[in-house]
A and B are shown apart, each in its own frame.
Chain A
């Protein structure tokens, strides 16, 4: 029986969710009180443009027809027109994707590098100095707004120590890694709170399992047991938590990009909101949701690959 037996079911589920996302995004625009054309055009309001928008959105038509129009355009990659940037919304959005993706991956990796050693060690020496210390540290960082932490880091490392740049994306890979270090660290620390706690609990539980006794009974070296049994099993328990919190991470990028003035989707979203650039707002929201769906799918795949028991659950 294939381990990915439930995969087709998963895909169907994903497609349904994607449709739902388009539905929600579609209705977002309809939330605007008053005349959408006026809202969208703002100061560039002219009668012809208003009529063009009305036609574009199909506001004269029944709602399901509007949705159909919306979906059809979506399939062609047409998200509407950004009057602020004077370009199709799609091209505005695509030009801002790179920094965000880079930041997301960077933070995900950093979070791993920080939380795994700390979480594992805290679990091994539960009640010890590292454990207590990290618990205090992470309780504090959990209550910290991500953007504020970012500002504090800027204060310490950029303003006073001049170790890192205050803002910007940098150029070239080393440039990106350097400029994005503080932002990625900000997100990673928020992310790590949950990861450390989960890994610690998973480590403690795994250490008490009977198969650890079996491994010791065989005469296996303790270091080997730690790595091949304790760590391996504890990490498995954390994969799901990691994936779920990745969504939180996405929210984090929006704020952090603003704090560090990174030219990514987050900054685009916020500036579009102040600019009343609704098509772009719609497009970015849609993109974020799709990103999350992709991440969740990826998490499931990784979990299935690492844990042989996953395919066994019926109707998971």
Chain B
């Protein structure tokens, strides 16, 4: 949990990441600002295609060159006040691994299938530290133990295909933590795993975070996952941040119709008619190529009025500390105990 008044670790301001595709320019990330504090777990939640993955990749500088255009500022405070967005390769390389690390959704494709786990782990361990072979090996075994992989010494010489999905994800986490980063970006780390394993991985991530005091940015489309682990939440829609706040605030008093809809869509045993349909959000997200003016959620919003489509949206303060929303009718967003949206 974040200590109150903890210092900011990573500040993203006005981030834009546009991808040029054959069909036109995709405004994947369109003016996103967020902050991750020290020892904090920040969750980013939103539908597929809302820009959460691209945000992470842009921060790490892993968006494919030649297809992307980025602007804005990404400030990693221990590194100084200058944005790392336009940094040189050498600078980025010094940061990656030792300060910023990332784990990806599918561990099977995120690891080289023809090299041993040991090789790839050692590669991570020695990327930022000059260690002798035995020292490096020892550290690797230590890391595998910490992520809960049994018989770590033997597993070093195994290949990715010899691991189950959950074990492989643990190995990937070990690799990400090899150089003791201060911020871990986790892009849908549990999405490709089955539910029981999902829980294990989340617990692992949480305990590692608490042990090391590192910060974490957890990205998921699954609000249940986010609320379980995170301290603060950022809700994204169509390339923009539509709401941000602490977990408690967001769950009990959401201030954006989209957030409400997301919460509504969560299956709630005991609070919902067991025979009734699962609530989904009608309609689909707007095209990110020809972006409509005004509020991007308006076409699907139960609270929308004609002015919503002309208002140039911005994040508004809700009055509660640290809780902002991109809905100008936020005071009319509520949630009654039966779980319905009230007008």
Contacts and interface: CB of A to CB of B under 8 A. Distances in A.
B111 A214 contact: yes
Interface residues of B, number: 34
A219 B123 CA distance: 9
A221 B57 CA distance: 18
Interface stretch (B21-29, B133-141, B174-182, B295-303): B174-182
Interface in B176-232: 176, 178-179
B252 interface: no
B43 interface: no
Contacts of B172: 214
B159 interface: yes
16 contacts: A209-B109, A210-B109, A211-B113, A214-B172, A216-B62, A217-B60, A217-B102, A218-B97, A218-B127, A219-B98, A219-B127, A219-B179, A220-B97, A233-B112, A309-B113, A309-B159
A222 B97 CA distance: 14
A44 interface: no
A233 B98 CA distance: 26
Contacts of A232: 114-115
B173 to A, nearest CB: 12
B89 interface: yes
B243 to A, nearest CB: 29
Nearest to B62: A213
A312 interface: yes
B324 interface: no
B106 interface: yes
B110 interface: yes
B96 to A, nearest CB: 4
A219 B106 contact: no
A308 to B, nearest CB: 5
B96 A309 contact: no
Contacts of A219: 93-98, 127-128, 179
A218 B114 contact: no
Nearest to A1: B162
A98 interface: no
Nearest to A310: B114
A307 interface: yes
Contacts of B98: 219
A307 B112 CA distance: 11
A219 B91 CA distance: 10
Interface string A284-308: 0000000000000000000000111
B159 A308 contact: yes
B89 A217 contact: no
Nearest to A232: B114
A74 interface: no
A218 B124 contact: yes
A214 B104 contact: yes
A308 B118 CA distance: 14
B311 interface: no
Contacts of A214: 104, 110-111, 120, 172, 175
A220 B127 contact: yes
Nearest to A217: B102
Contacts of A306: 114
A124 interface: no
A229 interface: yes
Interface in A104-131: none
Nearest to B101: A217
Contact of B110 (A210, A228, A229): A210
Interface in A81-104: none
Contacts of A229: 112, 115
Contacts of B175: 214, 218
Contacts of A216: 62, 96
Interface in B39-68: 57, 60, 62, 64
A215 interface: yes
A216 B128 CA distance: 13
A39 interface: no
A270 interface: no
A236 interface: yes
Nearest to A216: B62
Contacts of A211: 109-113
Nearest to A212: B112
The 10 closest A-B pairs by CB, nearest first: A219-B97, A219-B96, A218-B124, A211-B112, A219-B127, A210-B109, A218-B97, A308-B159, A217-B102, A210-B110
Contacts of B161: 308-309, 312
A228 B57 CA distance: 23
A222 B89 CA distance: 9
Max chain A CB contacts within 10 Å: which of B62, B106, B114?
B114
